[in-house]
Chain A
Amino acid sequence: MVKLTFLGPDGRTYPVEIEAGRSARDAALFNDVPGIDGDCGGVCACATCHIHVDPAWIDRVGRLADGSMEAELLQFAEGATSDSRLACQIELEPDLDGLVLHVPAQQY
């Protein structure tokens, strides 16, 4: 299992656990973390699982790859920054145990 924490826009924290190999999107949806919609089912097609990776984790998670589908979708998301990712594209391997992700105010 991998442990991670979602921080809501209102300051609430959501510590969750999920089996390794699943995505951060699944971790949010399976544990009812509010603010992550994931409309497309987790296949990088809608940008409704937008999160900001905590600065302490961004290097290990990795930034958006230029020209990727993920980057193309996120350019239209409200409030996207250089630490933005789509949660469906973050695969939770054991080296990400303890990961901290920030949920934006709105999905779009």
Chain B
Amino acid sequence: MYSAHYHLLLNHWPIIGTFIGLALFLVSLSANKDDLKQASLGLFSFIALLAIPAYMSGNAAQEFFRETPKVSMDLIQTHQGAALLALVFLEITGAIALIGLWEFSRAGKKSEAGRPAGWIVASVLLFSIVTSVLMAITGNTGGEIRHPEIIVSNEAPSSVGAAGAKVVPFVQYYVVEYSNWIWPILEDLHFIGLILILGAIGVLNLRILGFLKQLPVAPLHRFIPWGIAGVFINVITGILFFIGMPPFYADNPDFQLKMVAIVIAGTNLLLFYCTSAFRPLARLGPGDDAPLSAKFVAASSLLLWIAIVFLGRYIPSFEVYHH
């Protein structure tokens, strides 16, 4: 399997997932069903994770087409621009959805569960609608690359597509060329995100594992949105690094492994820390021992986030073998 295969494997999920997520979310709102709400919020967060490697694997596919004369590089650039806009809006949707989902995992007073605030529901709705439109354009422009039969010959070129083609070089210019300070500032933010993740998620995991046992679990779980904020900061700054220097990352096996680890660690975060699965743990008071299964999840979460830090720090070491 080559890097270009990954794009075909991954690229349909974020598009279909956004449509299904939006449909589920609308049904859950009109029927006022909490289970459906959780399912749609979880789906948005999960595809927001999958969309990261889906976008990045597109660069490998693009490299392949450079040597194929029948394929238009203009179409690819339009697709890439639309994909970047769709990605950014999906990441925002996913982050807000994850905080909304987290509200469900809180054990409220008298065992009454928490519910997402109105502003969260409204923002998820708004951003997922915009994301759906952008995903439709991404899918359509992506299809046109290899399926010229769907191109309408006398159709006016899409204004979103035209704007899309300018997006990637525009972002690249500001990340890499505009100033020598942008990259270091983004790196600084990336490390601040790392601290928020290890601080919020790491300390909670240590408590579940039995360190700091005097602390009740529920209030520590209140720091999870800070961890989610850390993940969001790092996803956005990470995407900017990738756009700034795609050849540095796209075929780097260490970087590819890091992206896989992020999808797994993020899924672990959303399934075990941000759904009603966490409620029994949220009832653990000072001195209470967590069940073995919870300790297993906490250990895997801790190891995954630490592995991501290590995989991130090793990225430049693989550059040696490329140049």
Does A associate with B in a complex?
Answer: no
Q: What residues of chain A have their CB less than 8 Å away from a CB belonging to chain B? A: none
Residues on B close to A: CB < 8 A? none
